[in-house]
Amino acid sequence: MKPEILVITPIYAPTLAKLEGEYVVHKLWTASDPQALLREVGFGVRAMVTTGFVGFKRSDIDPLPRLEIVACFGNGHNTYDMAAAKERGIVVTNTPDPTSETVAELAVALLLDVSRRIGESDRYVRAGHWTGGPGSFGLGHTVMGKTCGIVGLGSIGRGVARRAEALGMSVCYHGPREKADVAYRYYADVHDLARDADALIITCPLTADTRGLVDGAVLDALGREGFVVNVGRGPIIDESALIAALREKRIAGAALDVYWNEPHVPEPLKALENVALVPHSGSSTVEIREERGAKLLANLAAHFAGRPVLHPVTA
């Protein structure tokens, strides 16, 4: 008999289809009464599937007395109740994947979008406003020969740096400490970095030190012809200060993949033309989703075959 699994939130559709071919799948998010579904099927469920963003809590696993494994599609973001899983002896797995390069790719794409006014131009053409010759819409800014300031030279930041150099940009960076293995100029103060950069790209994690790091003073240092791109986390930029700087044209533009209160995007940001907005899609590629799906399926298959899982989460 096929093992019963509970999928608590939507995942990549091709992976879900494969799960349905190999297991008896219960979809919690489609139930009109989730608690009634848990009462009906909870005793038979041996595996739970979740995502990195949703994770799992003690209250998710308590109704499942025979639960053996939680398989996560993606990587956790402090969303796993590992203490609760350990108490029950439940195996937890995830799907480690190389998202740094895809996020870096998006960061540079966003810089090109906002500096060359690609999204804005697209809206202009679709609205039927283009009636003149080439260039009648207005001018963008080239990135070649400009300076890319990176906030956080981790794996994503390094990916951005390589791509920026390929576009003919010079690279400098800010972080908690100078990196000994790179030749890029280091700035201990983010204000100094912003002052010397034409584009400020945020790739660092959200910590107590980085929350609100890019405030009004940093944006003013970036200046009227500067662009800011955020693929890190929303609260790294002071959102109110950013809206004011964009409205008052104290910076040239912004491109955002992340926001303070996702999925809520402030209406003032939506109303501005000098900002590009995408829905936290740094790792949203077919290639990444296929890799995650394959690893999730492999973890479950190994567990139910009595073999060690391939990607255990231990802390």
Q: List the catalytic residue out of 262, 273, 287, 307.
A: 262
For residue 195, what are the contacts with CB-CB under 8 A and spacing of at least 6?
Answer: 221, 222, 223
14 three-state secondary structure: helix
User: 190 near 176, Cβ under 8 Å?
Assistant: no
User: 73 near 289, Cβ under 8 Å?
Assistant: no
Is 123 known to be catalytic?
no
Which ranges of 8-127 does DSSP label H, i.e. alpha helix?
13-22, 34-41, 58-61, 82-88, 99-115, 118-126
Tokens 């100094």 found at: 192
Is 262 known to be catalytic?
yes
Q: How far apart are CA 206 and CA 177, in angstroms?
A: 16
Q: How far apart are CA 57 and CA 79, in angstroms?
A: 8
Backbone angles phi and psi of 260, in degrees to 5? -60, -45
Q: How far apart are CA 275 and CA 279, in angstroms?
A: 13
Q: List the catalytic residue out of 158, 163, 233, 289.
A: 233
Q: List the catalytic residue out of 141, 185, 195, 280.
A: 280
Is 233 known to be catalytic?
yes
User: 147 near 197, Cβ under 8 Å?
Assistant: yes
For residue 187, what are the contacts with CB-CB under 8 A and spacing of at least 6?
Answer: 149, 172, 173, 174, 193, 196
Q: Give catalytic residues, as residue numbers.
A: 233, 262, 280
